Chain A
Amino acid sequence: YLFLHFVYGPLKPGTSNIFLLRNAVLEVEAIKVGCSVPAARKTGTTICGVVFKDGVVLGADTRATEGMIVADKNCSKIHYISPNIYCCGAGTAADTEMTTQLISSNLELHSLSTGRLPRVATANRMLKQMLFRYQGYIGAALVLGGVDCNGPHLYSIYPHGSTDKLPYVTMGSGSLAAMAVFEDRYKPDMEEDAAKQVVRDAIAAGIFNDLGSGSNIDLCVITKNKVNYIRPHDEANKKGVRTGDYKYKQGTTGVLTKAVTPIDLELLEESVQTMDTS
């Protein structure tokens, strides 16, 4: 599999290519049988976060796509990290899910070890150090937000491991649409309702203007002592109710003639097998 080195370049320190080898074998075997390798499911997404007076508001759409097909109309993109920290994920769905779960688990152990509520900066460090180690092969673009002993914090984390600490961030394919809303309407030290409204509008901009985002708007409001996970906050794309019916009433078709032929069947064997319902 020398071609792997040709295509992907020399092995980066701290990484291994066992999955590249496995995928190469699977691709060959799949072609032999006549199938194609499934495309990774991506959350072509709009996610965003905003810091307001008492905490942070995180927002996300709920569409997961496999190429041009919507794989999941109502997936959850706001992941739990710790009681005071949540993380929105864009990019490869599996990567965002597993990465946030891993860091959540390690953070819980860390929190038990320190005896303290975890800090957002700690989650940020753990995430960025892992993503940098994988040199961008883990396609997870995250919006990390939470409230800790030092106040509310919001970070954006990119797949290659760079992070930005900002008062408002957007990620995903709909990020430009959402950022346009933020750049127009963000104000420092907003009230909770104003913050929720601007996040809702930012995600809505992504849902209606980006093909990779759609369905509902999920919100997560994190304050010092409370987390309000609102799923869904806004069902922006409710399925329409059919106004007509293609079924015809019984008797619509008139019967002209009727011929009945009974078929005599001989009962040969009857056996009863009871189902174990215990």
Chain B
Amino acid sequence: MAVEYDGGVVIGADSRTTTGAYIANRVTDKLTRIHDKIYCCRSGSAADTQAIAEIVAYQLGFHSIELDEPPLVETAANLFRASCYRYREELTAGILVAGWDKRKGGQVYSVPIGGMLVRQPVSVGGSGSTYIYGFMDANYKPGMNKEQCMEITAAALSLAMERDGSSGGVVRLASISEEGVERRVILGNQLPKFSTH
């Protein structure tokens, strides 16, 4: 998931990759760097999303050198959309593009399966997202600061990981702002607990 705040974005993801019922990687990093201050959250097929992210990272890197300027988050999102929409029949990729640029500050763009592109202040994705739409609708308020965004992201991911079998492991968080990128990991035993039984 990804959340905008005034001055940047907070992104978060679980760390589980499965092949059927087997967990192929329990410490996956689904927050992939596309550029210095643009990251994406990957969900769906690992092969598809890795391939697309690497292609977009290349395209954006090239574009940035041409411009001699840090690229816009909207540009990165459009590059994702271009690939995801053109090959929509062949791909299974749900991607959240989030980052900071000078023009519009912190932005979150959602590119779900099918290749739609829409900017949202908050977005969730993946198989576990269904369990936290209600939580986000109830608890997100516009105007939260960075730490509040981190807390709500960690809480939402914990809840989703508790209920969804395909999600789990550790919570990986990152905040992107003008100052740079700050990464955090919350291990299983340190996750916020909601259940008493």
Q: Which residues of A contact B27 (CB under 8 A)?
A: 166
Q: Check if A161 is an interface residue, CB within 8 A of chain B.
A: yes
> Residues 107-143 of chain A: 1 if any B CB is under 8 Å from the residue's CB, otherwise 0?
0000000000000000001001101100110000000
Question: A162 near B50 (CB under 8 angstroms)?
Answer: yes
Question: A12 near B50 (CB under 8 angstroms)?
Answer: no
Count, A-B residue pairs, CB within 8 A:
39
CB distance from A92 to the nearest CB of B (A): 17
Q: Check if B46 is an interface residue, CB within 8 A of chain A.
A: yes
Q: Which residues of B contact A128 (CB under 8 A)?
A: 47, 50-51
Give Cα distance in the complex from A161 to B46, angstroms: 8
CB distance from A166 to the nearest CB of B (A): 7
Q: Which of A141-194 contact B (CB under 8 A)?
A: 156, 158, 160-164, 166, 176
Question: B47 near A158 (CB under 8 angstroms)?
Answer: yes
Q: Which residues of A contact B89 (CB under 8 A)?
A: 10
Question: B87 near A161 (CB under 8 angstroms)?
Answer: no
Give Cα distance in the complex from A10 to B47, angstroms: 19
Overall SS of chain B's interface: mixed
Question: A132 near B24 (CB under 8 angstroms)?
Answer: no
Q: Which residues of A contact B46 (CB under 8 A)?
A: 158, 160, 162
Q: Check if B90 is an interface residue, CB within 8 A of chain A.
A: yes
Give Cα distance in the complex from A156 to B25, angstroms: 10
- CB within 8 Å for A164 and B25 given contacts A128-B50, A132-B47, A132-B51: yes
Q: Check if B17 is an interface residue, CB within 8 A of chain A.
A: yes
- CB within 8 Å for A164 and B17 given contacts A13-B87, A13-B90, A176-B22: yes
Q: Which residues of B contact A131 (CB under 8 A)?
A: 47
Of chain B, the residue at the smallest CB distance from A176 is B22
Q: Which of A13, A129, A164 has the most CB of B within 10 A?
A: A164
Give Cα distance in the complex from A156 to B87, angstroms: 26
Q: Which of B58-93 contact A (CB under 8 A)?
A: 87, 89-90
Question: B25 near A161 (CB under 8 angstroms)?
Answer: no
Q: Which residues of B contact A135 (CB under 8 A)?
A: 90
Q: Check if B28 is an interface residue, CB within 8 A of chain A.
A: yes
Give Cα distance in the complex from A128 to B48, angstroms: 11
Q: Which of A129, A131, A161 has the most CB of B within 10 A?
A: A161
Question: B87 near A163 (CB under 8 angstroms)?
Answer: no
Q: Check if B45 is an interface residue, CB within 8 A of chain A.
A: yes
> Residues 12-26 of chain B: 1 if any A CB is under 8 Å from the residue's CB, otherwise 0?
000001010010110
Of chain A, the residue at the smallest CB distance from B29 is A165
Give Cα distance in the complex from A132 to B54, angstroms: 12
Question: B90 near A160 (CB under 8 angstroms)?
Answer: no
Q: Which residues of B contact A136 (CB under 8 A)?
A: 47
Question: B50 near A163 (CB under 8 angstroms)?
Answer: yes
Give Cα distance in the complex from A125 to B22, angstroms: 25
Q: Which of B82-113 contact A (CB under 8 A)?
A: 87, 89-90
- B interface residues with partner A (beta carbon < 8 Å): 17, 19, 22, 24-25, 27-28, 45-47, 50-51, 54, 87, 89-90
- A interface residues with partner B (beta carbon < 8 Å): 10, 12-13, 125, 128-129, 131-132, 135-136, 156, 158, 160-164, 166, 176
- Which 10 pairs, one residue from A and one from B, show the smallest C-beta to C-beta distance? A162-B46, A160-B47, A162-B47, A161-B47, A164-B25, A132-B51, A162-B50, A12-B90, A132-B47, A161-B51
Can you name 5 extra interface pairs (CB under 8 A) apart from A135-B90, A160-B46, A166-B25?
Answer: A13-B90, A128-B47, A128-B50, A164-B17, A164-B24
What are 18 A-to-B residue pairs whose CB atoms are below 8 Å? A12-B90, A13-B90, A128-B47, A128-B50, A128-B51, A129-B51, A132-B51, A136-B47, A158-B19, A158-B24, A158-B47, A160-B45, A160-B47, A161-B50, A161-B51, A162-B45, A164-B25, A176-B22
